Structure 1
Amino acid sequence: MIVSDLFTALADPQDVAERVEAVRREARYIVTDFSVELVLSKFRDTAEGEGDIFVPDYQRSLAWSDEQSAYFIESLLLRVPVPPIFLHDVDGRLEIVDGSQRIRSLVRFAKNAFGLEGLEKLDMLNGFHFAELPPSVQRRFNITPIRSFVLDQGTDESTRIELFRRLNTSGKRLEDAEIRKGVYRGPFLDLVIECAASPEFKALTPHMAKGVDAQSERQELVTRFFVYSDRRMEFRHDVRRFLDEAMNDLNRSVDDAQLARMRAEFMRTMSFIRGNFLGAFYRPDGGKRVPRVRFEAVAVGSNLALREQPKLVDPPVGWLRSRQFEQLVRTDASNSAPKLLGRIEFVRDSLLGR
């Protein structure tokens, strides 16, 4: 059977084409060119204020070095095509979805915050600040167009988060926790951010893996703590989708009483872990990374044990260095529902002396 015959046998080509077109149209956007000068005049570094183009709270801090920023500026001076920026219409203001590092580089350069360095094509400009460029070069720089995609405000959340995940045109990829902050806003997200920033939790997670944004990773861990504590039996295999859907649902449904209960459980569990096995989130070999599967087992398992025995004192700790525990928290077990339940329940039962 040739490929076309196989395709026809599997699905009606017309149905497939219509489905592709329907999904494609879910992302409504316009394409335009904003001049550098216009972007500079409209930009504000936070969502607060009157800026028509702004950096949302979920975006990372500026991570580019001066040399990286200078390389981008050189591309604009040369009129070399650069990746477009992606914006989201929020009540007529434009939230930066992808491109904050480039826009911040423009702003810093225009304010003479750094000089050009490491340039190869325009090496004669190394050491120059914006104010030191010839007036004609400054004017040409200001009118340089930047291709921009503006996502319509009416675009649904699922389409937005998928676009967030696919946009990796510059810098580091956005972490899942950062993406959720950009899409799933609400009271549950606020609780996650609050708990992740608490001194109690930071004391238990003083180190994160090299190259990992500590704030975002702590928020990822706290999200898992809450979701797996209450919804672990619903998990199947796709961690990211499971957490996304839970975040979205909890933001819409959680009430003040539930938030208070969840906050109290988190603080009680962190206090319990700190008082009985400080350092349990880290491997015993002294690593400075918090494996997510290890955190899930220790934190959620402890919470479940405390639900059964709120006044649990002097719990057994030998399990923490047991061969069985180490096997249960191997990193290759993260997407398995039985293994997720197995490691959480192992910690719970060990703490309860079962």
Structure 2
Amino acid sequence: MLDTQGRNEPDTLNSDTPEQDLPALDIPKHERRVQTVIQDLPVETLCGRISRGALILQPEFQRNFVWNSTKASRLIESLLLNIPIPVVYVAEAAGGKQDVVDGQQRLTSISAFVAGTFPGPSGQKRDFKLSGLQVLNELNGKRFSDLDSATQNLILEATLRVIVIKAESHPDVKFEVFERLNLGAEKLNDQELRNCVYRGRYNTLLAQISQYKPFLDIQGLSAPHNRMADRQLILRFFALQRLTHLHYRGNMKQVMNRELEDHRDPSDAALKHLEELFTRSIDMAWAVFGPRAFRRYQPGTATQPDGMWEERLNFALWDTLLYTFSFYQKSDIIPNADRIYEEFLDVMTYDATFAEYVTSTGDKADRVRYRADTWRRRMDAVVGPPRSDSRTFSRKLKKALFEADSSCAICSQQIQTLDDAEVDHIVHYWRGGQTIPENARLTHRYCNRARGGRED
């Protein structure tokens, strides 16, 4: 189960795959160097860029500002004492803007002091007065506006070294740079780094659907994970579902990077499709397994005949089960939920290779393909091939039913216009009902929606 406090668990938060199992990155030789520009910029210039939105301190992917006022004040003191400040890294983004990659806390502290307000939790702000200064203690309690002009100029004219990572740098090389920047600090996990590199509407979607209630229930969470582990799970699913297990060649980290790089700003229709694909697949997983979804089952032994379920969500089962569910409709799965559950217990008990490939770490291509092929065959044996028929009746049929008898099958009153009418499945589609005239009835659009019981 994911840790709601954000503590790192061995193979869920820190990395996608243990380092010893990662294949080499597939990067052309001529693109293996990151392209950078070094700039020494005055505080005044940096504050100006921040205030007009050209330098983005805290895009939605970044962690919150966490420094207290004393730590921020001592950074200001360091500027006044001419103590070197660590290098700031920024990355070129769309529209000529730059995203802060490393140095967010420092730049936020400096710009906040110059602006006069200290950023607090949930957007709360208060006067930024220096505190906790040990050398220039006479400045304690002073705002920027309280300082004399000479002291203000010392701050505004202090320079910070900024390394700009150019947009044309290869995205996987750029990702490695961001990852290594965090080695000496509180290490960001892969998804936090990924969000830093591949900013766009796709990231916004990941944040949005991480709040989906059945998904939270499956993880055992009451709110989205504060270290983005849930977003990484969603991205794994989308990346593998688009690529398919047949074309997967290994290195899930690189596959997820490429998914965000190539599709960072999808159309509205594409975003809607992704959201519906994920929520539908999660609904099916919850219908079959409930809170045991994506957990490993260990069968009993001669000495301990009782089997047991692991509590923590298993990445291999996440990839395998959710990926397979995505090719079906609820009408395929829900009537067969109990049989699918039993089939899973059977494959975990009697297919030693499947159980091994679920247990072992790593995302090697042969293991991903074996798990996907094996489970798909099992699903087909229980459910049959995924349904391809539409769930929507034609307007032609609606018109024919309306002209034959315009009364509502639910309230029995007359339907006044064709647009107020809706064709409903007599046997629900999600229960296996077919989209054929024999399974159709005419209802008020309102009555049908108010009745409930529909799949959506």
Counterpart mapping for 1:101-140 below 5 A: 101-110=105-114, 111-113=116-118, 122=135, 124=137, 128=141, 130-131=143-144, 135=148, 137-140=151-154
Unaligned runs of 5+ in 1: 1-18, 45-49
- Tell me which of 43, 54, 59 is aligned to 2:50: 43
Aligned position for 1:27: 35
Task: Specify the SS of the correspondent of 2:108.
Answer: helix
The CA distance in 2 between the partners of 1:228 and 1:22, in whole Å, is 25
Give the Å deviation of 1:99: 1.6
- 8 Å CA contact 2:288–2:334 kept in 1: the answer is no
Q: 1:237 aligns with which of 250, 253, 265?
A: 250
The answer as to whether partners of 2:88 and 2:102 remain within 8 angstroms in 1 is yes
- Paired with 1:339 and 1:196, the residues of 2 have a C-alpha distance of 27
Is the alpha carbon distance of 1:64 and 1:235 closer, same or farther for their aligned partners in structure 2, counting shifts above 3 Å? farther
- Contact 2:287-2:337 at 8 Å conserved across structures: no
Q: CA deviation at 1:221?
A: 0.9
Is 1:147 matched up with 2:161? yes
The equivalent of 2:100 in structure 1 is: 96
TM-score using structure 1 length: 0.70
| Cα distance change of structure 1 residues 133 and 348 upon mapping to structure 2, 3 Å threshold | farther
Query: Against the structure 1 CA distance between its residues 66 and 278, is the aligned structure 2 distance closer, same or farther, given a 3 Å change threshold?
Result: farther
Alignment of 1:293-308 (within 5 A): 293-304=316-327, 306=329
**Alignment partner of 1:213 is 2:226:** yes
Q: Secondary structure at the match of 2:279?
A: helix
Once the 2 structures are TM-superposed, how far is the Cα of residue 286 of structure 1 from its aligned partner?
7.7
For the residues of structure 2 that align with 1:348 and 1:310, how far apart are their CA atoms?
13
Change (3 A) 1:39 1:262: closer
Which secondary structure does the structure 1 equivalent of 2:245 belong to? helix
Q: Distance in 2 between matches of 1:308 and 1:328?
A: 30
The alpha-carbon deviation at position 27 of structure 1 amounts to: 0.5
SS for the counterpart of 1:232 is coil
Instruction: Check conservation: 1:87, 1:98, Cα contact below 8 A.
Output: yes
2:336 to 294, 313, 318: 313
Q: Relative to 1, partners in 2 of residues 1:103 and 1:225: Cα closer, same or farther, differing over 3 Å?
A: same
Match of 1:267 among 275, 279, 291: 279
The answer as to whether partners of 2:77 and 2:136 remain within 8 angstroms in 1 is no
Change (3 A) 1:199 1:314: closer
Q: Does the aligned pair in 1 maintain the 2:245–2:372 contact within 8 Å?
A: no
**2:65 counterpart (62, 73, 81):** 62
**Residues 63 and 298 of structure 1, relative CA distance in 2, 3 Å threshold:** farther
TM-score (normalised: structure 2):
0.57
Flag the structure with higher helix content. Answer: 1
Structure-1 separation of matches of 2:332 and 2:236: 22
* Contact 1:76 1:144 survives alignment (8 Å): yes
1:88 to 1:293, Cα distance in 2 relative to 1, 3 A: same
Which deviates more from structure 2 when the two are superposed, residues 108-117 or residues 237-246?
A: 108-117
CA offsets 1:221-266 (integer angstroms, 9 cap, x no match): 11111222242222233221122223334458x7776655443332
RMSD of equivalent CA atoms: 4.3
Is the Cα contact below 8 Å between 1:195 and 1:263 reproduced in 2? yes
| 1:58 and 1:181 in contact (8 A); partners too | yes
Deviation, structure 1 residue 205:
2.9
Are the counterparts in 1 of residues 92 and 98 from structure 2 also a CA contact under 8 Å?
A: yes
- The whole-number CA distance in structure 2 between the counterparts of 1:350 and 1:122 is 71
**Is the contact between residue 304 and residue 348 of structure 1 (CA under 8 Å) also seen in structure 2?**
no
Helix, strand or coil: the match of 1:32? strand
Task: Give the structure 2 partner of residue 329 of structure 1.
Answer: 358
Letter paired with 1:317: Y
Give the conservation status (yes or no) of the 8 Å contact 1:333–1:340: no
Which amino acid in 2 is paired with 1:27? Q
Number of residue-to-residue matches in the alignment: 323
Letter paired with 2:191: A
**Counterpart amino acid of 1:336?**
K
Structure 1 pair 96/311, CA: closer, same or farther in 2 (3 Å)? same
For the residues of structure 2 that align with 1:53 and 1:206, how far apart are their CA atoms? 37
Residue 206 (structure 2) pairs with residue 198 (structure 1): no
Report the 3-state secondary structure (helix = DSSP H, G, I; strand = E; otherwise coil) of the residue aligned with 2:337.
coil
Q: Is the 8 A contact 2:284 2:330 kept in 1?
A: no
Counterpart in 2 of 1:5?
Answer: none
Q: Percent identity?
A: 21
Given that 2:90 and 2:99 are in contact with CA atoms closer than 8 Å, whether structure 1 keeps it comes out as yes
Corresponding letter in the other structure for 1:220: Q
- Any stretches of 5+ residues in structure 2 without a counterpart? 1-27, 119-127, 297-307, 383-456
Partner of 1:3: none
1:84: which partner in 2?
Answer: 87
